[in-house]
Amino acid sequence: MDDITNYTINIKEKDLTIEKIGGKALNLSKLSSAGYNIPPAFIVSADAYDHFIKELKKEISTILNSINFNNENSISKGCSLIRNLIRSGKYLKIFF
């Protein structure tokens, strides 16, 4: 899926599934459909997340392979490196 329009979904769209948007977004969509006052929103699809993480897979695998899972400091450092990689936005260019 390379079309960015398929990565965002209107929260008021009908027939949304947990596989397509995740549990939290599905619950917000149901609340909106039931008439609760939900701020205007859109949903980033599960496909978008999968595409984003796929771009990071090699770097995440390298970090995971370097972790000594018997050492708490090594685990903490590995988690921080992965979190910083995701937060860096390095791969956000695939969406913009």
Residue type for 12, please? K
Averaged pLDDT of the chain: 86
- Which pLDDT score, from 0 to 100, does residue 13 have? 87
pTM: 0.57
What mean pLDDT comes out for the span 68-89?
A: 93
Phi, psi (degrees; rounded to nearest 5) at 44? -90, 120
- The answer to whether 46 and 19 have CB atoms below 8 angstroms apart is yes
35-68 per-position pLDDT tens digit = 999 888 888 888 888 888 888 899 999 999 999 9
Map out the domains of the chain as residue ranges: 4-44, 48-94
- Which pLDDT score, from 0 to 100, does residue 46 have? 86
The SS3 of residue 74 is helix
What mean pLDDT comes out for the span 15-41?
A: 91
**Residue 43: Cβ-neighbour burial (10 angstroms; 0-12, 13-18, 19+):** buried
